[in-house]
Amino acid sequence: MGLKSGYPPKVLSVDDANAAQSSLESLGIRDGDQILTSERRGPASTAAASTALTASTESTASTAPNLAATTTSSSTPANRSAFAPVNSGSFGFGSASMVQSAQSEFQARSVTAGSPFGGLSTVDSSYKAPAPKPPAPVAAPPVATQSVEGIRIRDHGFLVVREVEDDNSCLFNAIAYTLDPTMKSNIQGLRQIVAQAIETNPDTYPDVYLGRPRKDYCDWIRKDNSWGGAIELAIFSDHYKIEIDSIDVSTNRVDRFGEGHYNQRAILMYSGIHYDAVALTPAMDVPADCDQTQFEAGLDDIVNGGVQLAAKLKKAHKYTDLATFTLRCSICQLGLKGDKDAQGHAQQTQHTSFEEYR
């Protein structure tokens, strides 16, 4: 087992003879530091697997051989996404508790594989443990890009698109995924945030800005089938105190809401009629709980990676041309072509619910 820490990762030298007396602090590891473990399966093989752990030095009795076992979970502040980085570094994958949870299943399997009681038997030396069963594969989280590969961000993982529900609330679902997971089951609560912001700030959101009387807009956005857009993104940026960047797949344009006002940034991918979340994952086959969805606003690696990802999506035709796509009014079932037809139909009939069809 090899151990590395810091950035760039440096090998931790642990003397086997004194391993039992080596504490995390004595190795120069501080609270919040990441540790890379590399398991070697043979003298000629390279590291078979590397897993990032968040170290804790709260207990000086913890010893180096038990680094994974002594990792402690950290609570997430109420005003932060559970998917935000644990420390103040540029990159991280979820809270310590999420990373620990994702790793614990693999650790438990490796420990219990050699004995029916979770360890080597010292009672009956004639006992032969059954052949260990291969671990069940961990299902990969949904990735909207399908055949489109993620964008590698240096040594920190892959930038991917996380698909959210296509239920007329995709923008709100994407906001819940990236900024406030507690609202995943309360999308109506996110709609209320928008309505209340408009109601209490008439100077910021006048009728002419909304395109209709403020009361009508508030009543409309509270409906489950009303789509969100730039107005809602601006409100969520102000509400959560974070820059929100929306990348348009068809044009590769980046629309920045709250630019220059906040220290953190989240990214959404816009395909023309649908919003998805963008996340950084340490590997393509790990649970989505390990995603990082908030990043330091001063670093452009993620935005540049998002633009590259949008270019891949466009090349794979994973977007909708608003001028030519076909849609149907969900109320009267009238077939329409393009966003202009939809806008005209909405003005004439007050019908505001549409769905795409091919």
Active site residue 285: no
- Quick one: what percent of the chain has pLDDT higher than 90? 41
pLDDT tens per residue, range 35-51: 655 554 444 333 333 33
- From the candidate CATH numbers 3.40.50.1370, 3.50.40.10, 3.90.70.80, 3.40.50.150, the one assigned to the domain spanning 83-114+140-320: 3.90.70.80
Look-up of token digits 């050699």: 114
Q: Which amino acid is at 303?
A: V
Look-up of token digits 């979970």: 73
pLDDT tens per residue, range 204-232: 999 999 999 999 999 999 999 999 999 99
- The active-site residue out of 180, 245, 274, 290 is 274
pLDDT of residue 132: 44
- The active-site residue out of 238, 289, 341, 351 is 351
In the predicted structure, residue 234 carries a pLDDT above the cut 90: yes
Q: In 271-339, at which residue ranges do the beta strands (DSSP E only) sit?
A: 275-281, 295-296, 326-329, 335-337
pLDDT tens per residue, range 270-300: 998 899 999 999 998 889 889 999 999 988 8
pLDDT of residue 317: 82
- The active-site residue out of 167, 216, 285, 300 is 167
pLDDT of residue 101: 36
- The active-site residue out of 170, 218, 290, 329 is 170
- Domain locations along the chain: 1-72, 83-114+140-320, 321-358
Active site residue 291: no
By C-alpha distance, which of 251, 257, 284, 293 is closest to 270? 251
pTM above threshold 0.75: no
In the predicted structure, residue 2 carries a pLDDT above the cut 70: no
Active site residue 156: no
Q: What is the DSSP string of 96-138?
A: HHHHHHHHHHHHHHHHHTT-TTSS---S-TT--PPPPPPPPPP
Cα dihedral sign, 209-211-216-221: negative
Active site residue 261: no
